[in-house]
Amino acid sequence: MITGAVKIAHISDLHISGMQDRKQLRDFDRLLDHFNTEGYDHLVISGDLSNNANTSDWKIIREKLEAHGLYHWDKTTVIAGNHDLINLEEELRFYNALNPLPIVRKKAFDRKIKEFCVFFQELITGEDRGSKTYPFIKIINYSSVRIAVIALNSVYPWYPADNPLGARGSVSVGQLHALSQAGVLASLTECFVIGLCHHAYKVYGTDSPIDQAFDWTMELKNREEFLGALKGIHAKMVLHGHFHRFQSYEVNGITFINGGSFRYNSRCYSELVIEGEGKFTQQFLTLPSI
């Protein structure tokens, strides 16, 4: 039945570690084949493409998307996760050897973000010109609905005391300010607005006191400001990853969908079906094992 609804597939946290990662790469091919066979209109990957911030892993993902005809602005959206931008071992080595000023490290981090955005430029701006950085807004017109994806960087640079694992998140003041501009809201008129970042709004806890001690190292520091900015642009939902759980939850009328981790379950993904007038359904689906 042709419903005119828009079907989006969402995966996250692939953590690819080179070409020797054969099973993962085979499973990735299988999943992309499935998305094509099932006629998904768009694919979203919410960060941690690489496990060790290697450009060669980004290249593997790019080539796979190209091979499946998905490497196009209107077909796929990717953002970076902390594992794409921060190599913890390198950070520690650099810090211990040179003890650079925080501003020097921040500049190196900003260069890495830029590198990611330039590398995936086709999926970010879709053209040679245009801003190659966050936040980026993608508005795609389908016959039944106009969808806007608002992509924000939530990866926060490594700092020895404030972000010791490089896994803590923050959305910069500059990005939040950019979203509050009147022109942005005007451009989103009549759009179904989807926020996208790597980190979770939710603070995932466990019952183990030891794990609880580490909860803050994974959290999105300024999640309330982030939520306020999303409310301001009338976002219906937010797609994210980072905490490797396939799960959805609601906060203040916004549905958050955690795309889980392809690394830990390479057969599971989130399906989002959007109809006009803001109606949508979401479910986690699992491919049968071979």
Q: Which residues bind Fe ion (CB under 5 A)?
A: 13, 48, 81-82, 242
* Interatomic CA distance for residues 27 and 188, integer angstroms: 36
Smallest gap, in angstroms, from Cβ of residue 261 to Fe ion?
Answer: 6
> In this structure, is the dihedral angle defined by the CA atoms of residues 211, 217, 222 and 223, taken in order, positive or negative?
negative
> 135 vs 241, which CB is nearer to Fe ion?
241
Smallest gap, in angstroms, from Cβ of residue 106 to Fe ion?
Answer: 19
* Interatomic CA distance for residues 167 and 14, integer angstroms: 16
> 81 vs 195, which CB is nearer to Fe ion?
81
Smallest gap, in angstroms, from Cβ of residue 178 to Fe ion?
Answer: 23
> 218 vs 287, which CB is nearer to Fe ion?
218
Q: How far, CA to CA in Å, does 106 sit from each of 47, 85, 113?
A: 20, 12, 11
> 155 vs 191, which CB is nearer to Fe ion?
155
Smallest gap, in angstroms, from Cβ of residue 258 to Fe ion?
Answer: 11
| Closest of 266, 268, 267, 263 to residue 246, by C-alpha | 268
DSSP state letter for 288: P
User: Are the CB atoms for 230 and 188 separated by under 8 Å?
Assistant: no
Instruction: Count the neighbouring beta carbons within 10 Å of the beta carbon of residue 99.
Output: 9
Give the CB-side neighbour count of residue 239, counting CA atoms within 13 A. 29
> 131 vs 217, which CB is nearer to Fe ion?
217
> 45 vs 188, which CB is nearer to Fe ion?
45
Smallest gap, in angstroms, from Cβ of residue 112 to Fe ion?
Answer: 15
Smallest gap, in angstroms, from Cβ of residue 81 to Fe ion?
Answer: 4
Main-chain phi, psi angles of 114, to 5 degrees:
-60, -40
| Closest of 282, 266, 228 to residue 64, by C-alpha | 266
Instruction: Count the neighbouring beta carbons within 10 Å of the beta carbon of residue 213.
Output: 9
Smallest gap, in angstroms, from Cβ of residue 275 to Fe ion?
Answer: 31
> 249 vs 264, which CB is nearer to Fe ion?
264
Which residues, listed in sequence order, are joined to residue 251 by a DSSP beta bridge?
A: 254
| Closest of 154, 24, 15 to residue 83, by C-alpha | 15
